[in-house]
């Protein structure tokens, strides 16, 4: 497994991380506990050192799962988790709006440390920007946690350029986590140049388009109960049919390179910048190994230019979120 450094922070992680959200729901029923622990430990055995979770995944169950699975190798891995949502008393994924008040951030950190069975959070992201709390106060709260030895690095998720600059001026931002893939390329225009300027790493979530770019989904694919993709415009049957053109492009390149569409999609992302570290998620051991194989796949300048040019000519059909989900985009 290759290693990458997130920006100029000095935080070294495996070139691909593991997004763990789906192990406790969101894409259908939670994975059986023993199987989920085994998958995480299999990732460690294959060289993954970067694991992504959040208090709202579950809620809480995902951090608890990661804490258990990684306890034997805690000193060898980097754990990223997130704050910023209110979770009401009922729990059960009933998130109750944003809350990045400094006192809330510090309370979340204490609770996450316990669930993760650790004395320090390696990377602590604001899950979504809270318009009710100045970002300087958020950065200041995380700075306090860093000075107290409870957090090592500060991250933001889905933040805009102005917010990133303001936060970075108070406490250096190590990484930005945002959706980025061949079918979600919004960060390229403004965010990537800013991250390069400031020395901030990018951690793309959903780098395989929530599984679509892996090539196993068709217009007729039925989603399991509890799979939130069923509510996303981009996954409506007619959108899936139209978006198969992008999968076909990846399949063509994959056949030429002796790879899979998922590996091509991930290798394309890895080739964009040396400080980009995608975090594909999976619940299946075979998919885990397939995804990690992307690190060894070399796409030359001609391959990259051809993929980029062809992808730009394919209009992606469907919005990322519904208007309602846009207000609760921690998924």
Q: What is the 3-state secondary structure (H, E, C) of 41-71?
A: HHHHHCCCCEEECCCCCCCCHHHHHHHHHHH
Q: Does position 330 have pLDDT exceeding 60, yes or no?
A: no
Question: Rounded to whole angstroms, what are the CA distances from 234 to 182, 185, 189, 197, 331?
Answer: 14, 14, 22, 32, 15
Report the mean per-residue pLDDT for the chain: 95
Measured distance CA(113)–CA(222) in Å, rounded: 38
Q: List phi, psi (to 5°) of 114.
A: -65, -45
Average pLDDT of the segment spanning 150-159: 98
Q: Which residue has the higher pLDDT, 96 or 307?
A: 307
For the cut 90, the answer to whether the pLDDT of residue 141 exceeds it is: yes
pLDDT above 90 as % of the chain: 90
User: Tens of pLDDT along 253-289?
Assistant: 999 999 999 999 999 999 999 999 999 999 999 999 9
| 174 within 8 A of 142, measured Cβ to Cβ | no
pLDDT given at position 152: 98
Report whether pLDDT(144) > 90. yes
Q: How confident is the model at residue 42 (pLDDT cuts 50, 70, 90)?
A: very high
8-state DSSP, 199: T
Residue 20 is predicted with a pLDDT of 98
Tokens in use for 258? 């002796």
Quick check: 315 and 226 in contact, CB under 8 A?
Answer: no
pLDDT given at position 204: 98
Average pLDDT rounded to a whole number, residues 39-44: 98
State the average pLDDT over residues 196-213: 97
Q: Of the ranges 17-21, 147-151, 318-322, which one carries the lowest mean pLDDT score?
A: 318-322
Closest CA to 133 of 120, 142, 124, 122: 142
Judge whether residue 116 has pLDDT over 60.
yes
Determine the pLDDT at residue 214. Answer: 95
* Overall average pLDDT of the 218-224 stretch: 90
Whether 321 contacts 329, CB under 8 Å: yes
- The pLDDT > 70 percentage for the chain reads 97
pTM (two decimals): 0.96
- Which positions are annotated as active-site residues? 57
Domains parsed from the chain with CATH numbers: 3-326 (3.20.20.100)
Chain centroid, CA 159 distance in Å:
14
């Amino acid at each position: 497994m290759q290693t990458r450094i997130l920006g100029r922070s000095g935080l070294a992680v495996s070139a691909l991380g593991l997004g763990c959200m789906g192990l406790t729901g969101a894409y259908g029923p939670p994975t059986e506990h023993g199987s989920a622990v085994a998958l995480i430990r299999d990732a460690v055995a294959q060289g993954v050192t970067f694991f992504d979770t959040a208090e709202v995944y579950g809620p809480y169950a995902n951090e608890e799962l990661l804490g258990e699975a990684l306890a034997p190798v805690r000193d060898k891995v980097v754990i990223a988790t997130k704050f910023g949502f209110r979770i009401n008393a009922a729990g059960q994924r009933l998130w109750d709006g944003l809350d990045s008040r400094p006192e809330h951030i510090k309370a979340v950190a204490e609770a996450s440390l316990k669930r993760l069975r650790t004395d320090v959070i390696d990377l602590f992201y604001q899950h979504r920007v809270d318009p009710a709390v100045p970002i300087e106060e958020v950065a200041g709260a995380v700075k306090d946690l860093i000075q107290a030895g409870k957090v090592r690095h500060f991250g933001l998720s889905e933040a805009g350029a102005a917010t990133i600059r303001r936060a970075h001026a108070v406490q250096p931002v190590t990484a930005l986590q945002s959706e980025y893939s061949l079918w979600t390329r919004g960060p390229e225009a403004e965010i990537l140049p800013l991250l390069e300027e400031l020395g901030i790493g990018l951690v793309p979530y959903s780098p395989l388009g929530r599984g679509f770019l892996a090539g196993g989904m068709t217009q007729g694919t039925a989603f399991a109960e509890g799979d939130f993709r069923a509510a996303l415009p981009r996954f409506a049957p007619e959108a899936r049919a139209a978006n198969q053109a992008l999968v076909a492009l990846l399949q063509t390149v994959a056949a030429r390179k002796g790879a899979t569409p998922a590996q091509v999609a991930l290798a394309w992302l890895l080739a964009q910048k040396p400080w980009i570290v995608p975090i594909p998620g999976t619940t299946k051991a075979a998919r885990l190994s397939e995804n990690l194989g992307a690190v060894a796949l070399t796409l030359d300048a001609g391959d990259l230019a051809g993929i980029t040019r062809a992808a730009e000519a394919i209009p992606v059909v469907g919005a990322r979120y519904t208007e309602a989900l846009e207000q609760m985009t921690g998924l």
